[in-house]
Chain A
């Protein structure tokens, strides 16, 4: 708790500090490569025969996903707090790679916690983190996925609080993380808003993004929340199907609970034990959703739906062949929703889907699922 209070105080100061914000913006531009483009997916639009589909290309960020926006922000904060060491959890490995990258750039010691199940399905990212000089520590407890990695990172932080900052990768965990991570990711929506106004001269009808913890989605949605005509859809992982029980759809299958210092929708049993989750995508495979999403769910501002493993894999193939873009399996869940949604809309309507990461990291796993030996 003292650690969180220290972080809250430090972040409270930097949030209003223009020099910090300017430094952050500068790294996003020169190191991350922002702004990322808003790309009109012409062939996909034609195929689905409905709304115009734009892709917000977070997959073009340095390290291949939106995660780097937040890692840079939090590592800059850690430097201001004079911490020499940063730790992080990672599911798909994207946040781990992003944090290892930011730590390498600033010369900080870096340790990444990752469930052993995730290490297996994302072995390429494990190697990338090690190449970047980070220590990757496998967590062989519980479901051996993201939530267990967060448990272990929190234990490390409790132990090494004096020297270490915990760079949490999503809009999860105790305050100030959900707010801070959202702030660092909200650049996605601010850019998209300007870009769509330039392209179409108006705001979009729909925003679609996948929701694991929910950082890429809240990052896209946040700049549009005050525009009631912009509808928003968050896509959770339905895994093998909601009825199978093997999924990570918190709004469909969960109820409010407390995990990792946050009260939010949580997949749990009658006794409050956290359920094991399943998704083909490691980044969506988590039992709780960011608390701000729970708020907008209950307020009816954001609609939440889900896509199965199978639908996500089909969307992965579709985007690769129609647009020459392989999405991360996480982002493929958002594309899967667009496949269902766009045909129901009018041709003049506009949908922006957040392509939160690129699919290179998933190629081995997709090959395995397709039964292809590389």
Chain B
């Protein structure tokens, strides 16, 4: 059976926390999906891989193919949380001249064409180089909804969190299988937009093996927060996606999509090819697909 969607319980703090502001694209998206009984497909691509021009085409195509939220990787020279597939994508993106500044321009350009929630995954130094306040301001102006900083622990996140809160940028935190209960509670309550549960101890592109552990930990996180919980790392196939959709509010697929981008980077039909794979993921997590695995 599937877990209760987070909206089923009432939590006063959740209601008041965002009361001062209209819900942003992420909150609306999770709300809409929940109303329909659906789970979010969160598709990760590396911005600028193979070029920012292609990134724009890919975002539009992924949306058409059923992605609900797009996570845009900001390439970094030293991506310690990423496996070889995303490392190579970052190298391609850096070679094509991609920078955080240019990614924000691409997002601004995309905003005239789509309202799909866009989340940046950026290593801290790329944000620090731009300046935390300038980054938050420019990201929100461009139309970015949230940010994930994989090498920024919540202990060090205060300053960025404060300016993000002011500008309305959602800071999404990660929790690992090895996080202690105390830490789980604190991090879960601070995460905005959604919470990113890392399905395994490891790096992106590893193999998902312990679904029972994911189920147990997601249940524990839900007791601490009503923010939607998305699960990432190790979800490579429609079957994986369907299983995780039975547990979480969102399914994050990164390396498997980025691999397709890498393989077909010189193919003029790149967006369509990647789109076909994303369509298969979305089909697998559709309510009928999810119930068949439950």
Name the CB-closest residue of A to B76.
A273
Pairwise interchain contact B201-A159, C-beta atoms closer than 8 A = yes
CB distance from B100 to the nearest CB of A (A): 6
CB distance from B204 to the nearest CB of A (A): 10
Pairwise interchain contact A2-B176, C-beta atoms closer than 8 A = yes
**Which residues of chain A from 272 to 295 have a CB within 8 Å of any chain B CB?**
272-274
* Contact indicator per residue, chain A 222-262, by CB within 8 Å of chain B (1) or not (0): 00000000000000000000000000000000000111110
Pairwise interchain contact A161-B130, C-beta atoms closer than 8 A = no
Cβ-neighbour of A272 out of B80, B83, B128 (below 8 A): B128
* Contact indicator per residue, chain A 178-206, by CB within 8 Å of chain B (1) or not (0): 00000000000000000000000000000
Given contacts A155-B80, A272-B130, is CB(A266)–CB(B125) below 8 Å? yes
Determine which residue in A148, A155, A266 has the highest number of CB atoms from chain B within 10 A of its CB, and name it.
Answer: A155
Stretch from B32-40, B61-69, B164-172, B178-186 at the A interface: B178-186
Cβ-neighbour of A142 out of B77, B178, B179, B201 (below 8 A): B77
Name the CB-closest residue of B to A270.
B129
* Contact indicator per residue, chain B 71-111, by CB within 8 Å of chain A (1) or not (0): 00000111111010001000100100001110000000000
Bound form: Cα–Cα A154–B76 in Å: 16
A160 within 8 Å of B (CB atoms):
yes
Given contacts A151-B80, A155-B83, is CB(A271)–CB(B176) below 8 Å? no
Pairwise interchain contact A268-B206, C-beta atoms closer than 8 A = no
Question: Which A residues are CB-close (under 8 A) to B130?
Answer: 271-272
CB distance from A12 to the nearest CB of B (A): 16
A162 within 8 Å of B (CB atoms):
yes
A131 within 8 Å of B (CB atoms):
no
Pairwise interchain contact A151-B78, C-beta atoms closer than 8 A = yes
CB distance from B138 to the nearest CB of A (A): 14
A147 within 8 Å of B (CB atoms):
yes
Pairwise interchain contact A158-B201, C-beta atoms closer than 8 A = yes
* Contact indicator per residue, chain A 1-30, by CB within 8 Å of chain B (1) or not (0): 111010000000000000000000000000
Cβ-neighbour of B81 out of A2, A142, A147, A158 (below 8 A): A158
* Contact indicator per residue, chain B 194-230, by CB within 8 Å of chain A (1) or not (0): 0000000111001000000000000000000000000
A104 within 8 Å of B (CB atoms):
no
A320 within 8 Å of B (CB atoms):
no
Pairwise interchain contact A272-B78, C-beta atoms closer than 8 A = no
CB distance from A85 to the nearest CB of B (A): 14
A105 within 8 Å of B (CB atoms):
no
Bound form: Cα–Cα A155–B80 in Å: 6
Bound form: Cα–Cα A270–B126 in Å: 9
Cβ-neighbour of B183 out of A2, A3, A258 (below 8 A): A2
Name the CB-closest residue of A to B154.
A1
Question: Which A residues are CB-close (under 8 A) to B183?
Answer: 1-2, 5
* Contact indicator per residue, chain A 348-361, by CB within 8 Å of chain B (1) or not (0): 00000000000000
Pairwise interchain contact A260-B80, C-beta atoms closer than 8 A = yes
Pairwise interchain contact B129-A259, C-beta atoms closer than 8 A = no
Given contacts A142-B78, A260-B80, is CB(A159)–CB(B206) below 8 Å? yes
**Which residues of chain A from 121 to 177 have a CB within 8 Å of any chain B CB?**
141-142, 147-148, 151, 154-155, 158-162
Name the CB-closest residue of B to A276.
B77
Pairwise interchain contact B87-A158, C-beta atoms closer than 8 A = no
Pairwise interchain contact B77-A274, C-beta atoms closer than 8 A = yes
Bound form: Cα–Cα A259–B79 in Å: 10
CB distance from B50 to the nearest CB of A (A): 18
Pairwise interchain contact B99-A147, C-beta atoms closer than 8 A = no
Pairwise interchain contact A154-B80, C-beta atoms closer than 8 A = yes
CB distance from B284 to the nearest CB of A (A): 27
Bound form: Cα–Cα A50–B81 in Å: 51
Given contacts A151-B78, A270-B129, is CB(A2)–CB(B180) below 8 Å? yes
Bound form: Cα–Cα A207–B288 in Å: 72
Bound form: Cα–Cα A260–B104 in Å: 25
Question: Which B residues are CB-close (under 8 A) to A142?
Answer: 77-78
Cβ-neighbour of A274 out of B78, B128, B179 (below 8 A): B78
B7 within 8 Å of A (CB atoms):
no
Bound form: Cα–Cα A236–B94 in Å: 28
Name the CB-closest residue of B to A263.
B128
Question: Which B residues are CB-close (under 8 A) to A160?
Answer: 201
Pairwise interchain contact B202-A2, C-beta atoms closer than 8 A = no
Question: Which B residues are CB-close (under 8 A) to A154?
Answer: 80
Question: Which B residues are CB-close (under 8 A) to A266?
Answer: 125
Bound form: Cα–Cα A366–B175 in Å: 48
Pairwise interchain contact A268-B87, C-beta atoms closer than 8 A = no
Bound form: Cα–Cα A1–B184 in Å: 12
CB distance from A162 to the nearest CB of B (A): 7
Bound form: Cα–Cα A158–B176 in Å: 10
Bound form: Cα–Cα A142–B90 in Å: 10
Bound form: Cα–Cα A124–B292 in Å: 58
Question: Which A residues are CB-close (under 8 A) to B79?
Answer: 151
Known: A155-B203, A160-B201. 4 other contacts (CB 8 A): A2-B180, A2-B183, A272-B128, A272-B129
Please list the residues of chain B having a beta carbon within 8 angstroms of any beta carbon in chain A: 76-81, 83, 87, 91, 94, 99-101, 124-130, 151, 153, 176, 178-180, 183, 201-203, 206
The 3 closest A-B pairs by CB, nearest first: A272-B129, A159-B202, A2-B178
A sample of 18 cross-chain residue pairs with beta-carbon separation below 8 angstroms, ordered by A number, consists of A1-B179, A2-B183, A147-B78, A148-B78, A151-B80, A155-B80, A155-B83, A162-B201, A257-B125, A258-B151, A260-B78, A260-B80, A270-B129, A272-B100, A272-B126, A272-B129, A273-B77, A273-B94
